[in-house]
């Protein structure tokens, strides 16, 4: 763990096979909203972009599609294994403009000529996200873009009619985040983070996939998220493996929603973007 920033390279959701699966499902459900955020922020052909907490590379690949072959995307992550995976994926996609580096955002030597800094689900894992963004601004050109997307768990799951199973699961995750010292409202907190970092008030949007019926991908995504969180839920004394019964969670949730002819929304992602002062 970094004492200077509080950034934990083994962040609360871990770096397991289950987490890799969750990230893939997350990409399928949320990538369109991330691309929309970057388009609104102004990412365009030829830009040089820094992706903080790049993980398996999904966000970097979205940015690469916007900056094109004449642009450049540099992803930074503290976990060597996931950087290797992201590098393999970039090669498989023939994205020569994308590269990944292993390191911590406070100690890694970085250029100071980026046109944009981006990140998805990274600021929530920093003890002082405003201070981190303020430091990162040193690597952005005057007038450069700062765009982040983070989760907002809100006050409870959105489900019509109400879902007892979702309410129970949400309660476990909320308690886990609180005991881990994380802000489960980071999404809507992005405004305050940007302003405290010295940026103009950001423009913001929010997005949450929703659905029901037998084929909604959200059942498996919720189960994979709980599975990634399970070690921490147990370690922090929130619940036991038996309480969650994850092997059947997705099917139980599917059966509940179908029986009630109900729908539910997945966690909300909030996007925010602003620009560094020109001078």
Residue 59 placed within a domain: yes
Res. 152: pLDDT tops 90: yes
* Residue 93: half-sphere exposure toward Cβ, Cα within 13 Å: 19
Number of domains within the chain: 1
Q: How far apart are CA 86 and CA 63, in angstroms?
A: 14
Predicted pLDDT of residue 151: 94
How sure is the predictor about 155, in pLDDT bands with cuts at 50, 70 and 90? confident
CATH for 79? 3.40.50.150
Residue 223 placed within a domain: yes
Q: How far apart are CA 267 and CA 257, in angstroms?
A: 17
Least confident of 21-30, 164-173, 220-229: 21-30
The pLDDT tens digits of the residues spanning 46-57 come to 999 999 999 889
Provide the token pair at 127: 């003890």
Expressed as residue numbers, the domain containing 80 is 17-275
How sure is the predictor about 17, in pLDDT bands with cuts at 50, 70 and 90? low
Strand order in the sheet with 98-102: 98-102, 72-77, 48-52, 114-120, 140-152, 268-275, 203-207
Residue 133 placed within a domain: yes
Predicted pLDDT of residue 3: 31
The pLDDT tens digits of the residues spanning 202-219 come to 999 999 999 999 999 999
How sure is the predictor about 10, in pLDDT bands with cuts at 50, 70 and 90? very low
Residue 4 placed within a domain: no
Predicted pLDDT of residue 8: 45
Q: 28 or 279: whose pLDDT is higher? A: 28
Predicted pLDDT of residue 157: 86
Q: 8 or 198: whose pLDDT is higher? A: 198
How sure is the predictor about 106, in pLDDT bands with cuts at 50, 70 and 90? confident
How sure is the predictor about 264, in pLDDT bands with cuts at 50, 70 and 90? very high
Neighbours of 261 (CB within 10 A): 10
**Residue among 205, 201, 219, 199 nearest 262 (CA):** 219
Q: 82 or 261: whose pLDDT is higher? A: 261
Residue 6 placed within a domain: no
Residue 12 placed within a domain: no
Residue 3 placed within a domain: no
Residue 2 placed within a domain: no
């Amino acid at each position: 763990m970094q004492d200077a920033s509080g950034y934990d390279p083994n962040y609360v959701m871990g770096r397991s096979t289950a987490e890799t699966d969750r990230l893939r499902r997350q990409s399928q459900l949320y990538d369109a909203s991330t691309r929309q955020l970057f388009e609104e922020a102004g990412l365009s052909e030829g830009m040089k972009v820094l992706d903080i907490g790049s993980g398996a590379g999904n966000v970097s690949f979205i940015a690469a599609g916007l900056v094109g072959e004449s642009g450049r995307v540099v992803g930074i992550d503290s976990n060597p294994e996931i950087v290797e995976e992201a590098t393999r994926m970039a090669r498989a996609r023939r994205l020569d403009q994308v590269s990944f580096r292993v390191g911590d955002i406070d100690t890694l030597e970085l250029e100071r000529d980026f046109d944009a800094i981006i990140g998805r689900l990274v600021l929530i894992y920093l003890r002082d996200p405003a201070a981190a963004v303020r430091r990162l601004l040193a690597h952005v050109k005057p007038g450069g873009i700062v765009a982040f997307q983070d989760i907002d768990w809100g006050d409870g799951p959105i489900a019509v009619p109400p879902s007892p199973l979702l309410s129970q699961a949400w309660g476990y995750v909320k308690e886990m985040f609180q005991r881990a010292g994380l802000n489960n409202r980071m999404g809507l907190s992005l405004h305050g983070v940007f302003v405290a970092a010295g940026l103009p008030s950001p423009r913001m949007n929010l997005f949450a996939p929703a659905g029901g019926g037998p084929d909604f991908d959200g059942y498996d995504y919720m189960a994979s998220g709980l599975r990634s969180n399970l070690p921490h839920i147990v370690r922090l004394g929130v619940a036991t493996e038996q309480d969650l019964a994850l092997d059947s969670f997705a099917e139980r949730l599917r059966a509940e929603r179908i029986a009630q002819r109900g729908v539910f929304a997945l966690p909300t992602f909030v996007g925010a973007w602003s620009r560094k002062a020109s001078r």
